[in-house]
Amino acid sequence: MSRSLPCDLRCSTSSSSASPVPRLNEASKNNTAVLKFEETKERIKKMFNTVELSVSSYDTAWVAMVPSPNSGKVPFFPQCVNWLLENQLSDGSWGLPHRHPLLMKDTLLSTLASVLAMKRWNVGEQQINKGLYFLEANLASAIDEKQYSPIGFEVIFPTMIEYAKNLDLNIALEPSNLVALIHNREVELKRASGSYSEGQEAYLVYISEGLGKPLNCEMVTKYQRKNGSLFNSPSTTAATFTNLKNADCLKYLCSVVEKFGSAVPTVYPLDIYARLSMVDNLQRLGIDWHFKEQIRNVLDETYKSWLQGDESILLDASTCAMAFRLLRVNGYDVSSDPLTQFSEDHIFHYIGEHMKDIGAILEIFRASEISIQPDELLLEKQNFSTSHFLRQQLLGISTKTNIFNKNISQEVKEALRIPFYANLERLASRRAIENYDTDRMRILKTSYCSSNVHNKDFLKLAVEDFNMCQSVQREELKNLSRWVVENRLDKLKFARQKLAYCYFSAAATLSAPELSDARISWAKNGVLSTVIDDFYDVGGSEEELLNLIQLMEKWDVNVSVDCCSEQVEIIFSALRDTISEIGAKAFIWQERSVTSHIIQIWLDLLKSMLREAQWLKYKTVPTLDEYITNGYVSFALGPIVLPALYLVGPKLSEDIAGHPELHYLYKLMSTSGRLLNDIHSFKRESEEGKLNAVALSMIHSSGSATVEETTNEIKSFINRKRRELLRLVLREKESIVPRACKDLFWNMSQVLHLFYANDDGFTSHEMFNVVNAVIEEPIVRSDS
C-alpha cells in the first residue's frame, strides 16, 4: 500500500454529466497535496547536508577585539569589525532581530560588546554613539529580575561596563544601578566559588571574559579542547587568546572565521549535535521512515566519531547522551562508559545550576533508560538522580524559561510519567507533534537557534503524515468491525468485545501503511485470543474445550457435523478462516507456506488454556515453575505476535522461525506479560478462587512472604527480563532474527507495560482516550 495521498484521474471526458468536474478538482487537489508533501521531504533531506546556525553579535565582537600578534594596534580579524559596523539594528542595538521583550539582557550584552570592539579600534563613531544611546535607554533592564539572564550575565556585563570606562567610554549610568550590578556580580561569584567543585570551576572558565583577570595556563590546559577552543565558545576562546596569546586558541578562531566568514556563532562546532537532533526529532515525530538513508548516514558517522573519542560528542552532555541513546536503540554497540564523566556534581552544579540546561539533564535521563546490561549500575544511578532532579525542577521551571522552550515542562512531565519501555510509537509521535515548538531558542551567553534542530517543515510533514496514516487505520478498523459481525463473534455473549484495544495495540506500534497485513493479523488474532480466553475461562464446557482442540488438530472438518455446539462452530470457523487468510497473505511475503505453523501456534495456546481450566476444575496446585512454563503460552500473545513476524518484510526460513533465539524472545515477552497481568489481577482472581503467580509464590513460600514482598520480588524479576529482552532486540552481533521481527516482541512488551501501568488495561477508562488519540482524532495545528 502506498503512503501517498490517493489520487484518481480515471474519469470519462465523453459523458455529458457534470460529475467529472468535481472528481477532476478532487484529483487535482490530491496531486497538489502529494507534490507539496514531496517538496517538504526534499527540503528536509537537503538539511542533512548543511548545519545552519544563527550568528552571535556578542561572540563576533569578542573575536573582533582580538589584536594582531604582530601589532596590538590593529585587529587580527578586521572582517568581524566590518560586520559589526554594517549590522547594527535600527534602534542602535546588536543581536538577533525580532528579539523577545524578555531578552533585553541578551541584547544589552551583545550591544555593549559590539561598542567595546569598535572603540577598541577607534572606528564607527556614529555606531558607537547610537549603541551608547540604546544602552543608556535600557540599562534598567540589566537589573530587572523579570528579564531572562543569559549564562554569566551577572558577572560579564558589569565587568564590561568597567572595561568601557577604561576605554574612556562614558555610559550614563544611575549610581544605584551600578551598585546593583556590582552587588549581583559579587553574589554570583560568591555562589560559583563558595565551595570547590569541578562544575563550578568549569562555569567560571566558561565565563572567564567576565572575571576581569586572565585565566592561568593550568586552567587553559585543563579545559582547552583538541580544536584549540575552550568549550567550543568563540567569545571565551577569543578572550583567552587576547590575554595569553595561546597559539591553539588562535588556530581555533581562524578556523571559525574561515568557516563562517565575518560573523561567528556562539558555539562551534555543533554539527554532530544538530544532525543528531534532526534524527531525534524526525524519529519522535514519526516521520523518520521517509529519511532512512540520511539517518543511517548520520548514525554511521556518529558511531565512527564515538569510537574515535570525538570531543564534540564526548565533552558535551547533551550530545553525548543523545548519541548514546540513538546509537544504542538503533543497534550500534556502544558502551555507557562515556556517560560516567557526567557526575552528579557536573550534572546538577554545572549543567543545571549554572548552565540552566534542563534539556541536557532530560537527555541524560533518557539515555539512562536504555540500560541493557545487568552491570550498568551507573545508568541506574543516573536514572534515579536525574529523575529526582527533574521532578524538583518541575516545581521551579520559570515562566521565563518556558517562553524560550515553551514545552519543556510538558516534555519533562511526560518523560517521567511514561517510561521508555511503555512509550508506544504512535502515542509518542502524537505527543511530540502536539508539543513541537518550531521557534525553540537555546540560550548560552547569548541566544541562538538552528533550523536543523527545530523547523516548521518537520511539523508540517509530521501532521500530514500522522493524519494520512490515521485515515488508513480508521478504514481498517471499520473493516475489522464488519469482520467481527460477519464471523458472528458478537453473538458470543460470554466474550469481551475488545476490537478497539486489539487494533490500537497494532496501530500504535505498526503504523506504516505498508504494514497493513501485519496490523490486520495482529488485531484479528487479538480479538480471537480474547474470545478464546473467555471461552476457556467461563464460556465453554470441558466437552467444548476439548472439541475445539480436536477440530484444530484435524483441520479439514465439516463444521456442521463435527462441532459439538454453535459456540464451537462460531469460534472454529472464525479461527480457520482467519488462519487461512493470514497464511495466504504470508505466502506472498514469504514465498512459502506457513499456515501449518500458525495452526500449531494456536494449538499450543488452546492446550495451555485447557491445562489451566483443568487445574481450576480439579483444584490442582501447580508448582511455580509449572505455572510459568504453561502461563507464558496461555497468556495468548503467541497467535498475536508470531504470525505477524511473517508480514513485516524479512523472509523467515523454517530454521529462523524455529530458532531458539526467536522462541526466547517470545518467552521473555510473554513471561513478563503474564506476570504483569498476575500482579494487577491478583485481588480479583483471589476472590474468584483462581491461582496466579502471586498466590503461588506465597503458597510455596510456606506463608512467610507478604503480598507486598511477593509483588516487589516479581516486579524485580519483570524488570530483569524486560532489560534482557531489550538487549536481545538491540543486539546485532550473533543474532539471526531480523531486527524488524525482533521489534515486534519489544512493541508488544511496551503495549503490556502501558496497559498495566495502573490497572487491568481492559477495564481502564483512561485507555479510551489513548485509543481515540491514535485512531480517531486527527491532529490540528494552525502553525503547520
Amino acid at 164: A
User: In this predicted structure, what is the pLDDT of residue 10?
Assistant: 24
pLDDT at residue 2 tops 50 = no
Q: Are 359 and 406 in contact (CB under 8 A)?
A: no
Q: What percent of the chain has pLDDT over 90?
A: 80
| Partners of 75 in beta bridges | 67
Closest among 337, 338, 402 to 373, alpha carbons compared: 337
pLDDT tens digits for range 571-596: 999 999 999 999 999 999 999 999 99
pLDDT at residue 20 tops 90 = no
Mean pLDDT calculated for residue range 703-717:
92
pLDDT at residue 12 tops 90 = no
**3-class DSSP state of 651:** coil
Mean pLDDT calculated for residue range 703-732:
95
Q: Are 495 and 530 in contact (CB under 8 A)?
A: yes
Note the Cα 194 to chain centre separation in Å: 37
Q: Where in the chain is the domain with CATH 1.10.600.10?
A: 622-765
Q: What percent of the chain has pLDDT over 70?
A: 94
Give the integer Cα–Cα distance in Å for 711 and 693: 9
Q: Are 213 and 228 in contact (CB under 8 A)?
A: no
Q: Which CATH class is domain 55-265?
A: mainly alpha
More confident residue, 299 or 355: 299
Closest among 626, 638, 644 to 665, alpha carbons compared: 638
Q: Are 130 and 426 in contact (CB under 8 A)?
A: no
pLDDT tens digits for range 415-471: 999 999 999 999 999 999 999 988 888 899 999 999 999 899 999 999 999 999 999
pLDDT at residue 407 tops 90 = no
- CATH 1.50.10.130 holds for 270-460: yes
pLDDT tens digits for range 263-314: 999 999 999 999 999 999 999 999 999 999 999 999 999 999 999 999 999 9
User: In this predicted structure, what is the pLDDT of residue 27?
Assistant: 63
Expressed in angstroms, the distance from the first to the final Cα of the chain is 26
pLDDT tens digits for range 611-638: 999 999 999 999 999 999 999 999 999 9
Mean pLDDT calculated for residue range 223-242:
96
User: In this predicted structure, what is the pLDDT of residue 485?
Assistant: 97
pLDDT at residue 107 tops 90 = yes
pLDDT at residue 510 tops 90 = yes
User: In this predicted structure, what is the pLDDT of residue 198?
Assistant: 81
Amino acid at 460: K
pLDDT at residue 206 tops 60 = yes
Mean pLDDT calculated for residue range 7-35:
50
Q: Where in the chain is the domain with CATH 1.50.10.160?
A: 55-265
pLDDT tens digits for range 37-47: 999 999 999 99
Give the integer Cα–Cα distance in Å for 737 and 742: 7
For the ranges 185-199, 361-375, 396-410, 673-687, which has the lowest average pLDDT?
A: 396-410
What's the mean per-residue pLDDT of the chain? Answer: 91
User: In this predicted structure, what is the pLDDT of residue 404?
Assistant: 62
Mean pLDDT calculated for residue range 343-370:
87
For the ranges 225-234, 715-724, 765-774, which has the lowest average pLDDT?
A: 765-774
pLDDT at residue 538 tops 80 = yes
pLDDT at residue 55 tops 90 = yes
Q: Where in the chain is the domain with CATH 1.50.10.130?
A: 270-460
**3-class DSSP state of 281:** helix
What CATH architecture is 622-765? Orthogonal Bundle (1.10)
Q: What kind and span of H or E run contains 448?
A: strand 447-448
Query: Is the peptide bond prior to 269 cis by the omega test (within 30 degrees of 0)?
Result: yes
More confident residue, 758 or 757: 757
If pLDDT is split at 50, 70 and 90, which confidence band does 220 have? Answer: very high
User: In this predicted structure, what is the pLDDT of residue 15?
Assistant: 33
| Residue keyed to cell 501517498 | 4
Give the integer Cα–Cα distance in Å for 80 and 253: 11
The alpha-helical segments, DSSP class H, found in 3-71 are: 20-47, 57-64
User: In this predicted structure, what is the pLDDT of residue 400?
Assistant: 52
pLDDT tens digits for range 112-155: 999 999 999 999 999 999 999 999 999 999 999 999 999 999 99
If pLDDT is split at 50, 70 and 90, which confidence band does 783 have? Answer: confident
User: In this predicted structure, what is the pLDDT of residue 376?
Assistant: 93
pLDDT at residue 9 tops 80 = no
User: In this predicted structure, what is the pLDDT of residue 106?
Assistant: 97
Give the integer Cα–Cα distance in Å for 477 and 499: 8
pLDDT tens digits for range 137-149: 999 999 999 999 9
